[in-house]
């Protein structure tokens, strides 16, 4: 409704100025153009109230600010002036004018980025109507966002407590020395179920669409948790990470590690899915919003998959160490070996190098290291006497040395 009033006010101002110009050049009274017939009631009502141009300008600015809030959110902060270029024609359709006004405001508020819709790392407190109050951020590094209270105040708690509340059996894994990284997806409606409408349950400023909580991340001797929230603010959809101030510095360091870079890549892939949604047509935005739960579930699965790969690599390294597998010595042992130390394994079609201290290195025909291990001398001799390992021809060793490259390892 207020957008229609903006159009009417601008047309009235233009008509009023046109009437003054006509009165100066002719004694004939100005007649409203036919195109204004639907708006005569508005003009007459404004004349009866004797609204001045200054009063009309104030109302236009107020309505433009309402439009700004609709596009960018109620609490959006303007960091710079806006410059709009609007051309109004008498016969222009109201819908076309409104579309142009929305387009320019959207570009100025979003593309030009003079608006800060949310504060990264903080959650909006509907009770205080602020991102800066004491409720907007968790205090402890192991705390994550649990839900909004009835009065719209964010509630926090330890990540393991969330798993206990959800009766998630993975809560027992969090306190093991080799604890995996656990993620939990929650719908936005579940996080707002206690929140009253009076305290922002249906607010467009910070509409929580869903959340992925993860813990515990470990950086050096520290462990922490955080919440990744999908938020709709005005027409924009953003992925906000909420964590304690102490955890923020650890999170920055964690993202520099190999595992952290993969987690960050998973988060960035979700951001790409929602980037620029405010510029899309309404039906496109609606289809993307419907996919938000699926996107967050995918994010949770991707993060856990990254952690599982790291744990598998770590466990494999522990096994290797316990077996004292001399992989690092394979290249040097090969270069120092003599012709009598190389054998061909008929069963597995691999080269066998018998090095000092009964170290056994297994190479593929392409001279790639398959594995290394220690065997008892009796086990080695048994394989040779049974002809499973056959002595290599004189030229095979030199050929294998020429093909081998340091670090060219294929784990079994």
DSSP secondary structure, 306-320, as one string: HHHHHHHHHHHHHHH
The mean per-residue pLDDT over the stretch 114-141 comes to 84
Distance (Å) of CA 301 to CA 162, 164, 269, 313, 407? 18, 20, 13, 19, 32
Among 103-107, 194-198, 201-205, 363-367, the range of highest mean pLDDT: 194-198
Which of 124-128, 274-278, 291-295 has the weakest average pLDDT? Answer: 274-278
In the predicted structure, residue 394 carries a pLDDT above the cut 90: no
Other Cβ atoms closer than 10 A to 25: 7
- 193-222 burial: b if 16+ Cβ within 10 Å, else e: eebeeebbbebebbbbbbbbbbbbbebeeb
Domain edges within the chain: 2-116, 134-317, 327-403
Task: Give the span between the Cα atoms of 363 and 90, in whole angstroms.
Answer: 85
What pLDDT is recorded for position 185? Answer: 95
In the predicted structure, residue 77 carries a pLDDT above the cut 60: no
Give 5-43 as a DSSP string.
HHHHHHHHHHHHHHHHHHHHH-SSPP---GGGGGGHHHH
In the predicted structure, residue 286 carries a pLDDT above the cut 80: yes
DSSP 257: S
pLDDT confidence tier of residue 401, bands split at 50, 70 and 90? confident
What pLDDT is recorded for position 138? Answer: 93
Which of 114-123, 198-207, 340-349 has the weakest average pLDDT? Answer: 114-123
Instruction: Quick: pLDDT tens for 207-264.
Output: 899 999 998 888 777 889 999 999 988 778 889 999 999 888 888 888 888 888 888 8
Helix (H) or strand (E) holding 165: helix 159-165
Percent of the chain with pLDDT over 70: 66
What pLDDT is recorded for position 173? Answer: 85
Distance (Å) of CA 232 to CA 25, 66, 107, 127, 167? 55, 18, 18, 18, 29
Residue owning tokens 């496109």: 284
What pLDDT is recorded for position 113? Answer: 45
- pTM, 2 dp: 0.53
pLDDT confidence tier of residue 307, bands split at 50, 70 and 90? confident
The mean per-residue pLDDT over the stretch 350-365 comes to 90
pLDDT confidence tier of residue 92, bands split at 50, 70 and 90? low
Other Cβ atoms closer than 10 A to 151: 16
Distance (Å) of CA 411 to CA 39, 322, 327, 362? 81, 16, 10, 11
What pLDDT is recorded for position 191? Answer: 94
Q: Which two tokens stand for residue 78?
A: 């303007």
What pLDDT is recorded for position 80? Answer: 45
Task: Give the span between the Cα atoms of 119 and 97, in whole angstroms.
Answer: 33
The mean per-residue pLDDT over the stretch 132-160 comes to 93
Cβ contacts of 298 within 8 Å, gap of 6 or more: 270
In the predicted structure, residue 145 carries a pLDDT above the cut 60: yes
Task: Give the span between the Cα atoms of 252 and 234, in whole angstroms.
Answer: 29
Contact call for residues 141 and 134 (beta carbons, < 8 A): no
What pLDDT is recorded for position 236? Answer: 83
For Cα atoms 59, 63, 68, give the angle at the middle one, nearest 5 degrees.
Answer: 145
pLDDT confidence tier of residue 278, bands split at 50, 70 and 90? confident
Task: Give the span between the Cα atoms of 400 and 394, in whole angstroms.
Answer: 11
In the predicted structure, residue 142 carries a pLDDT above the cut 70: yes
Distance of CA 330 to the CA centre of its chain: 43
Which of 48-57, 358-367, 382-391 has the weakest average pLDDT? Answer: 48-57
- 87-99 burial: b if 16+ Cβ within 10 Å, else e: eeeeeeeeeebee
């Amino acid at each position: 409704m207020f957008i229609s009033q903006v159009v009417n006010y601008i047309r009235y101002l233009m008509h009023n100025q046109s009437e003054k110009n006509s009165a100066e050049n002719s004694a004939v009274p100005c007649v409203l153009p036919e195109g204004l017939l639907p708006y005569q009631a508005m003009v007459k009502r404004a004349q009866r109230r004797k609204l001045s141009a200054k009063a009309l300008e104030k109302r236009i600015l107020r309505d433009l600010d309402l439009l700004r809030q609709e596009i960018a959110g109620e609490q959006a902060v303007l960091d710079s002036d806006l410059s709009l270029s609007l051309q109004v024609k008498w016969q222009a359709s109201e819908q076309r004018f409104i579309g142009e006004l929305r387009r320019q405001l959207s570009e100025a508020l979003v593309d030009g980025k003079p608006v800060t819709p949310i504060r990264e790392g903080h959650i909006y407190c509907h009770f205080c109507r602020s991102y800066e109050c004491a409720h907007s951020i968790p205090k402890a590094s192991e705390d994550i966002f649990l839900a909004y209270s009835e009065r719209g105040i964010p509630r926090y708690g330890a990540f393991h407590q969330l798993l206990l509340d959800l009766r998630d059996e993975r809560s027992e894994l969090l306190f093991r020395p080799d604890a995996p990284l656990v993620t939990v997806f929650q719908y936005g409606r579940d996080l707002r179920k206690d929140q009253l409408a009076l305290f922002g349950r249906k607010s467009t400023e910070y509409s929580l669409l869903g959340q992925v909580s993860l813990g515990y991340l470990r950086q050096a001797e520290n462990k922490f948790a955080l919440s990744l929230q999908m938020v709709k603010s005005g027409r924009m959809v953003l992925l906000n990470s909420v964590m304690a101030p102490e955890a923020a510095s650890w999170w920055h360091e964690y993202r520099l590690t190999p595992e952290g870079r993969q987690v960050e890549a998973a988060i960035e892939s979700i951001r790409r899915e929602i980037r620029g949604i405010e510029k899309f047509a309404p039906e496109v935005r609606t289809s993307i919003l419907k996919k938000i739960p699926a996107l967050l579930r995918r994010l949770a699965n991707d993060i856990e998959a990254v952690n599982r790969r790291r744990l598998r690599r770590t466990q494999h390294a522990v096994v290797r160490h316990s077996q004292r597998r001399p992989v690092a010595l394979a290249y040097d042992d090969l270069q120092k070996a003599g012709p009598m130390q190389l054998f061909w394994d008929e069963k597995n079609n691999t080269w066998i190098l018998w090095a000092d201290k009964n170290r056994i290195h297994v190479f593929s025909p392409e001279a790639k290291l398959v594995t290394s291990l220690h065997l008892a001398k009796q086990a080695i001799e048994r394989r040779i006497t049974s002809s499973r390992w056959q002595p290599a021809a004189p030229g095979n060793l030199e050929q294998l040395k020429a093909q081998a490259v340091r670090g060219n390892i294929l784990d079994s």
